Structure 1
Amino acid sequence: MTQQQPLNSQSPFFHEERHASLQPFAGRLITICGAGTLGANVAETLARMGFTQLRVIDRDRIEMRNLSGQPYSRAEVGAPKARALSNLLYRAVQARVDPKVVELTAENVVGLLQGSALVVDAFDNVEGREAVSRAARDADLPCLHIGFSGDGVYGSGIWEPRYQVPREVPGDPCDYPLTRPLALMLSALAARAITDFFRLEQRHDFELTWNDIKVHYG
């Protein structure tokens, strides 16, 4: 009978190790497409849970309006989101984040996703989502797409190959009514789906209706 190793109370991942250790796959590369309200919060959650190898793809820079829903500081306004997130998570828990400050397109998507054990699509534009979806299917790469409705009361996570790229909607995709509580709950559901994928080899879709806090996971 194998004797269980004692828990290290000085570990930054003490609580995760106590519940269910992620150590066997903590070093697997997870690529997160988008470092906005969903992508950045998912990246932070995964890093603080113990995932140490992340790649973040985002072309945008931090704006003042991002501070209410994204884990950036006022001092970082103007900096590239991917690079700021990389610095933040290394300082926090020494997670190694490979920042890609570039626009993901159909031409460069294969190279940007190369080596990933899992892809998380948190883009806010149809072109980026479509490129990620097609590349993931072609490469048979595990991919979870997370997003929310235009009215900010519904969110979901859908795995390939069940995902369908949404239609383009008019207006600025950054002007969304997504509150921080909804974003954090969606990020938490995404993190659970990701850990279930690695630990249990299961791909759970999820839905969240914010008005009545109704959650479907399965």
Structure 2
Amino acid sequence: MRSKYLHEEIYRGAGEVTKLAEPLVAVCGAGALGSNLVDNLARQGFLQLRVVDFDRVDQHNVSTQAYGVADVGAPKVDVLRNQVFRAAEVELDAVDKKLDERNVRKLLKGADLVVDTFDNSASRQLVQQHCREAGVECLHVGLYADYCEAVWDEFYRVPADAEGDVCEYPLARNLVLLAVAVASELLVRYVLAGEKENYSGTLRDFAVKPLGF
């Protein structure tokens, strides 16, 4: 029987895809970025995945997140755990808790890589502080309107929160998927070759460019 990662193995090499199964990757946030990113990583060969989020699926999440109408009301991490197992038989470590200063060390314990996909500055700062103190590599992924970026922690500055309701802002699904593709590739390149690259993307001109830090 052919491997479920056949196309990735042909592209990268079977031995390379095997390496993706080694690190424990903790994804902070299971919203538009986090949910699609976890699903994508599982389908690429990452087998040790943890996702931390306390939110439940809402109706407005369906267009940009990896959830469906039938999931509305359910904890996001539970839906994602079931979805990832059905898709790739990957056992997701689903943590249905709000990450805060009291539990951040416990919830991110053992992670080899942390991915910050939170949508507010306080949570991003908390993740950044923990990763710097613990010496854990962290990739921050963010987006707004037409722009997205994926930046390794040593080059990252936590932005101020946008005004208004965090759930009500302009966002195209295609920008989310563009950001997920960029972040996924940066994680793969880091695990396989130790490369740290930072990229931004804009949807209107469909441009993905390296950030010149």
TM-score (norm 2): 0.94
Q: 1:153-182 CA distances to partner (integer Å, 9 max, x unpaired)?
A: 111011111111111222111212111111
**Aligned mate of 1:56, from 51, 57, 78:** 51
Give the secondary-structure state (helix, strand or coil) at the position aligned to 2:142.
strand
Contact 2:8 2:17 in 1 (8 A): yes
**1:128 paired to 2:158:** no
The aligned counterpart of 1:159 is 152
Map 1:74-153 to 2 at 5 A. 74-149=69-144, 152-153=145-146
Secondary structure of 1:132 counterpart: helix
Please point out which of 8, 27, 33 is paired with 1:16.
Answer: 8
- Shift, 1:52, TM fit: 1.1
- Please list the CA deviations of residues 68-115 of structure 1 after superposition, one character each: whole Å capped at 9, or x if unmatched: 111112111100001110110011111111111111112211111111
SS in 1 for 2:176: helix
- SS at structure 2 position matched to 1:88: helix
Do the aligned residues in 1 keep the contact of 2:20 with 2:47 (CA within 8 Å)? Answer: no
Percent of residue pairs identical? 38
Query: Structure 1: how far apart are the matches of 2:151 and 2:139?
Result: 6
Distance 2:181 2:210 in 1: 12
- Cα distance in 1 for partners of 2:210, 2:18 equals 24
| Aligned residues of 1:105 and 1:127 also touching (Cα < 8 A) | no
Please give the secondary structure, in 2, of the residue aligned with 1:96. Answer: coil
Give TM-score scaled by structure 1 length.
Answer: 0.92
SS of 1:167 mapped into structure 2:
coil
Contact 2:128 2:153 in 1 (8 A): yes
Tell me the distance in 1 between the aligned counterparts of 2:99 and 2:59. 24
Structure 1 residue 120 displacement after superposition: 0.5
What is aligned with 2:173?
180
Aligned to 1:47: 42
Return 5+ residue gaps in structure 1 as ranges.
1-7
Aligned residues: 208
Give the letter for the 2:69 counterpart. R
State the distance in 1 between where 2:137 and 2:18 align. Answer: 20
Conserved? CA contact 1:34–1:121, under 8 Å: yes
RMSD: 1.2
- Structure 1 segments of 4 or more deviating over 4 A? none
Aligned-partner Cα distance in 2 for 1:93–1:214: 30
